[in-house]
Amino acid sequence: MLMALALLAAGACSPSDDTAGDATTSTSEATTEATTEAAVDPADARPWLDPTLDTEARVELLLSEMTLEEKFGQMTLVELGSIDVDDIAPLGIGGLLSGGDGVPSQYDPSAPNEPAAWRAMVAEFQAEAASSRLGIPLLYGIDAVHGHGLAEGAVVFPHNIGLGAAADPDLVRRIAVATADEMRATGIRWNFAPTLAVVQDTRWGRTYESYGQDPDLTARLGAAFVEGLQSETAGGTVLATAKHFVGDGGVEFGTSLVPGYLLDQGDTRVSEDELRRVHLPPFVSAIDEGARVVMASFSRVDGQFAHGSRALLTDLLKVELGFDGFVVSDWAGVDQLTADYAQAVSAAISAGVDMNMVPSRYAEYLDALADGVELGRIDESRVDDATQRILRVKFEAGLFDRPVVDGAGAFGTDEHRALGREAVARSATLLTNRDVLPLDPSTTVAIAGPGADDPGMQAGGWTQSWQGRRGHLVGATSIIDGITEVTGQQPVHLVEPDDWNEIGTIAVGIVVVGEDPYAEGVGDVDRPVLSEADREVISRMRSIADSVVVVVLAGRPLVMNDVLDSADAVIMAWLPGTEGGGLADVVFGVSPFTATLPVAWPASVDQLPIGPESPNDVVRFPIGHGVTTE
Ligand code: BGC
Ligand code: BGC
């Protein structure tokens, strides 16, 4: 089926010969109707397809043709592993998504993780949508939050926290352009990024999804991402999603409702003034820059779930900020509102959620919508408004004019790798340097530590899977490979106990330590400290090397005063992604260190959380710290 439908990739959304051909062999009611439609001139039957009409006119023409059930369908976003492909047309499903583990094999076990297979899969879904009564194209969304991390061979860029350290909107814009390109190569036009959380407590597992503690920097970088991602190219527009609305960066430690989580999906207990001053500005900028989708936050604001808050989603976002795109819920976020699912659906839709990332129980959701309207819990005008918003964004993104992208889009190219490498060098933050860096490329170097040869650790969560994993990544350069490339000589890699015994003494030892990959609340921690095992490798290196350079791969600052005091240089590399060469570039002076901390670095775990206003003398390093070698 995948193969056959790839043929449709070139087709438009109007009823095509292929669709009619399919329909004649189908017994389903919806497709029979599509056949009938195909007999008449599509321009007459579907006047909204006329691209010369303005968007609002097209939306109205289409909306006036829709049944209530078709509107419900548009308000539905289903996850790849849960969709029955035969439901797409009859239910008029509005969108599908890849969750954190949503690679093509989740849908078709034999599908490889290759751009062509992604493209064929999305084209197949789009063809199903085209065969529905009205042929409304669907949106396919994915979390390409640091490059197209789920797609094998994609260039994975530094996570946002590293880009916050680089603090360069133009760099972020270029990364977003490259990300959009790689997405288009896989046929995907909707990105659940950027995250605009302004992190306040770095014990939060999503710290690395944030550009940092400063609302203004977050606003500038977030807007640059939106601009780059949505820039027009021959391949069509990719949509950004500003998330998570609003206040997720302010969740208070210990308030999560998810067992095992500490902060994520917790409560942001701030005054309205603080919410507006700290957490709202990035959304204002992103919307100004043209963000057309906003994702609601799992978190609560002062005890009130964002997903059920009319004050936040409607009064603030839609009315006050004038946002006329659509609000998507987060993954089953609606379900959390009350134990009674039907009531939760009514509450969320009435509050202002337009499209529900169900993600799996869509039959139940569609029933709940129908009941909600029938019982008067959901106003029909709210359903029209939600549908209008979704259609508006689909028209604007060119989805009706070109529902399937043709694969034009560079993927894993040298150019993108060079950009990734530049971003790695620009984000590497030099915390201390006792006259050791940059190293002369002819220096004899030994290297050790869990991150020395581990692209998976460099990339962190949202890479190949939701939680990410240690190990090899297709097309990636590990730090050791980067060093070999830059210096022309392979550093001695100390792995086994014998390696250490045999080496004697050495001029410089590099130790790469840090955190294992994680995502979301799984990464919430009580005590963000450098592990005992990592400290041991560092002290072992100290015993054989004249100088020790420590490189930290982590999504947040780790308390490590002893290491900061004793190492000759410490580099916070954040989660740099696949291009380890960028790290070698700064270590060996090919590029200067220019980055500065986007979050304060704690002197002890007891002082967390340290807000941007914490006095500089209590923290180990204040926000803005970074040794530059320019
Ligand atoms: C996350 C979102 C993400 C969504 C889809 C949720 O768990 O909170 O950031 O976009 O999953 O993968
Ligand atoms: C999905 C993620 C989602 C998470 C939420 C995972 O299985 O892959 O996208 O964010 O569940 O619990």
User: What confidence score (pLDDT) does residue 614 get?
Assistant: 64
Q: At 309, list the tokens.
A: 């808050």
- pLDDT value at residue 2: 33
Atom of ligand 2 nearest to the CA of 466: 8
Please classify residue 99 by burial: count the beta carbons closer than 10 Å to its beta carbon, then call 0-12 exposed, 13-18 middle and 19+ buried.
buried
User: Which ligand does the CA of 101 lie closest to?
Assistant: 2
The residue among 361, 422, 363 whose CA lies nearest residue 594 is: 422
Closest protein CA for atom 8 of ligand 2: 100
> Among 577, 562, 394, which Cα is nearest to 468's?
577
- Whose atoms come closest to the Cα of 210: which ligand? 1
- The two beta strands, 95-97 and 76-79, are parallel
Packing angle between helix 55-63 and helix 380-396, nearest 10 degrees? 130
264 lines ligand 1 (CB under 6 A): no
Residues of the chain with pLDDT under 70: 1-43, 234-236, 407, 612-616
The answer, yes or no, to whether any atom of ligand 1 lies below 6 A from the CB of 333, is: no
Within 6 A (CB) of ligand 2 lie: 99-101, 331, 466
Q: What is the pTM of this model?
A: 0.93
Return d(Cα 494, Cα 506) in angstroms, integer: 12
Q: At what angle do helices 29-39 and 17-24 cross, to 10 degrees?
A: 140
Q: For ligand 1, atom 5, which residue shows the shortest CA distance? A: 99
Residues marked active site are found at: 330, 520
611 alpha carbon to ligand 1 midpoint, in Å?
A: 25
Q: Ligand 2: distance of its center to the CA of 4 in Å? A: 31
Whether ligand 1 lies within 6 angstroms of the CB of 99 is answered as: yes
| Cβ of 143 below 6 Å from ligand 1 | yes
Report the greatest alpha carbon distance in the chain.
83
Task: Give the pLDDT confidence score for residue 8 in this predicted structure.
Answer: 30
Determine whether the shortest distance from the Cβ of 331 to ligand 1 is under 6 A: yes
Report the distance separating Cα 9 and Cα 185, nearest Å: 12
pLDDT digits (tens, 9 = 90+) for 192-235: 999 999 999 999 999 999 999 999 999 999 999 999 999 987 56
Q: What's the pLDDT tens digit per position in 418-439? A: 999 999 999 999 999 999 999 9
Determine whether the shortest distance from the Cβ of 192 to ligand 1 is under 6 A.
yes
